[in-house]
Structure 1
Amino acid sequence: MTHVRGRIWRHGEPQDDFDFSAISDCLSGDDTLVWCDIYDPDHAILEDLADELHLNSWAVEDALAESERTKAVVYRTHTFFTVYAVTMTEPAAQEEPSSLLEVHRISGFVLPRGLITVRLSPHVDIDEVSRRFDELGGQEYGVGSLVHGLLDVVVDGHFAAVQALDDAIEGLEDDLFADETPTKGLQRKTFQLRKDLVALRRVVLPMREVVSAIQHRRLDAKTAPELDAVYADLYDHVLRASEWTESLRDMVTTVFETNLSLQDARLNVVMKKLTGWAAIIAVPTAITGYYGQNVEYPGIQTVTGFITSTALIVVMVVILYVAFKRRDWL
């Protein structure tokens, strides 16, 4: 079911008379600013809106498509963009690791005096977008500040996701050298984190082009330069999130490779110890096997022969044990 909400400002003052059916009339006013948010849109409703506002038909199709990449496309009368907000999920109680991320697509049509956002997911804090807009003084700077408020919330979500994955990788590093951690569980966690990082990277890296395209789109030549500083700061945050994501990718790869190296090292230690004990056990086996021959030899069926064989076993075992222990083979 389609849900529509919005805000309208006239002469820099918020109004309470937002009417979706009259949105084209609102956008035609010189001192009017409109924000319309549409959740779970019906195709027919969005098509009618596109015809009314002269939106690009391909952009409308992209706004409704299930799978679209992060992008920004500049048209003659408006700019269309698609970004992905990221929210964190609670870790699963079961042993099987699950994804820590949920991505939610947001599409937007940036008009000279308004912004229309289209969402397919309810898990986006639209109230926070509105609050950021008011903090920036959007009534003074126009639609550019409203777009900035939306992108700022999205990028902050990216930062929170990167931080959560960073903490998860640090936990992996701690488990890596813990003797009681099951190797199988550690491998599964590592692979799941790698999948989460790949998913996050797909939505974070293209944000640079989105912010840059919107920043340099002069929809209002009078007020747009005033927003250059905040957009430059937003672009810097996007770069930091991208670089952080790349560094985490290297970290999780290092954890995976280190885990394999540790498994090889532990296997070598086990084999070394088994080889040492096998050499020690071979001594009494060889001596008792020699005295078990069915031939005549000195000391056969005598106490002296038993004492001699036992002494040889003890002496050789002690010598081998001490020698292997000094070389850290046991």
Structure 2
Amino acid sequence: MTIEATNTIITLFVLAGFGFALKKLKVTDQRVDSFISTFLVSYIVPVTMFHTAFTSFTMEHLKVSWKGILIAASSMLIIIVISSSLSRMLRHSIKRGGAFIAMSAFSNTIFVGLPIITGLFGDEGVPYLLLYFMANTIMFWTVGNYLLSRTKTNGRFSFTVIRKLLNPAILGFLLGLAALFTEFPVPDYLLKSAEYLKDMMTPLSLIYMGSIIGALTFKNLGNPLDTILIIMFRFVVSPLIVILLFKLVPMPLVMQKVFIISAALPVMGQVSIVSGKYGGDSGFAAFMTAFTTFLSLFTIPLYFMLFTLL
């Protein structure tokens, strides 16, 4: 691993450690975490997506976009099939099984993925992360929402999923692409303002991540076997499937690296939220989000070192 990459990873640790210390010192609490989460998801992330789409995307990126989204979505479908089979073998209840499958298949591409990818690859990696994010979001709010909603609705598909797909991050990204294609004259002062807000994304996300880790408890651990299997899916099986798919469909090297890291990210935070909405075990999902986030601080550097073999 290069000195620059090593320094980047250490910096990520320091910022996450700062968030952890703030939680342990009781400077931050659940209310502060909620504010940071809302501020990032509803405001900073959409601005970041707009700025990135408008300034970083090119026709070359767009030519391979559909293939990248297809590869990412295919990897998630494969995980869903495998984890579904395991869930049946373990005789999970419907609510437990839905959460187990969703936690195994979907990545935390915003709070963890964006600062990690930006820190390791710079602006060059962000457009590829957005492709994985789009696949992750679409798959979660369709297949994932269906799996989690079975706890109350017996698996009926809801058309509110369409509204969920049009979340602020996706809208910001689409707006940036629209401005790019139409050559809309975005004023320099707006772009500069968006750039300032974008620069807040990485430190705030890492502080939030550290604060969540600081609240980690084992009271919601549940079945240790489920925990081990989800960890294996997130950090071993999912990135391995992406690697195998790239063997079948060669793509740019930077895309491969970004997708592998994205596939090896922690459990998606929305799983606990949606699981709680439909009467599932949101406590276990929240625990797994925090626990896998903690573990990712050690697994991400490992994958980055393994990139020398690609």
Q: Which has the higher contact order (CA 8 A, sep 6+)?
A: 2
**TM-score by structure 2 length?**
0.27
Is the strand fraction higher in 1 or 2? Answer: 1
Largest Rg, 1 or 2: 1
Is the helix fraction higher in 1 or 2? Answer: 2
